[in-house]
Structure 1
């Protein structure tokens, strides 16, 4: 099954089973934000699609925004916790051991930007889940990490949901 087929199947499922929308969105955002798992979870495309479902009135914006934000916060927090408690063991294990350049770039990014790097890192694909892990391995204070994590998650979720949520109604008025 291709990513497009998987995304389409999830979107169809959410449309048909709206009660499952929030748990699915939460799990996708969690997976997208969790180190290693984020490399295989096609959450970005599905969250963009969820925005379109919001725009068509199938699901509600605020609950989906909250579910995506909470999933992202908890995924990043778990990545941070893993890094803090398992240090370099995590980085030297599969699959990160296969991506030393990504780990190195994440370390450089974090050293340069600190807590701001955690905030900004959420918006850059491969760095999204690696930066919190690196923040943990580098023993970033939990307060600074949590501030960056909690403040960036709703903005990230909004950025992914807004094009569909607001673009679909706008296009309908434009071409409707």
Structure 2
């Protein structure tokens, strides 16, 4: 089964079983925000698609927004914890053994921007996968990390879901 097939199946599941929309968005956002996994799971595209189902069904925008934001928050928190717990041993793991410049570039970005980098990194695909990890490795205080994590996750989730959820209705003149 290809990623395209999995994506189509996820959208069909949400379309047919509205009660699963929030939990599915949670899982997709968690995977999109989790270090390493986010590099191979294209969840953002699926979340945009789920947003587009809102005006076509009885899916609650607030429910999918909450599930998406919470999944993103917990995915980044776990990535931060992994970075804090394992520190520089992470550089010996895939994909950093194959692409060491990925970790180096993220580290430079984090050193330059700090908490603003954690916030902004959420909106930049390659950094979304690594910035929480580097923040944990760099010893960023948990409270500062969580403020950036939570606020960026709420905006990121809305930014992914809003165009589909309300753009379709706007285009239809509703």
Residues paired across the two proteins, number: 174
Distance 1:96 1:48 in 2: 29
RMSD: 1.3
Q: In the superposition, relative to structure 1, how do residues 41 and 58 fare at CA in structure 2: closer, same or farther (>3 Å)?
A: farther
Aligned to 2:127: 127
Deviation >2 Å, runs of 4+: 1-6
Aligned to 2:110: 110
Aligned to 1:25: 25
Distance 1:8 1:58 in 2: 19
Q: SS of 1:173's equivalent?
A: coil
Q: SS of 1:139's equivalent?
A: coil
Distance 1:149 1:35 in 2: 14
Distance 2:3 2:163 in 1: 20
Flag structure 1 segments of 5+ consecutive residues without an equivalent.
none
Distance 1:54 1:108 in 2: 40
Q: TM-score, normalised by structure 2?
A: 0.95
Aligned to 2:8: 8
Distance 2:91 2:74 in 1: 20
Deviates more, 1:83-92 or 1:133-142: 83-92
Matched ranges for 1:84-163 at <5 A: 84-163=84-163
Flag structure 2 segments of 5+ consecutive residues without an equivalent.
none
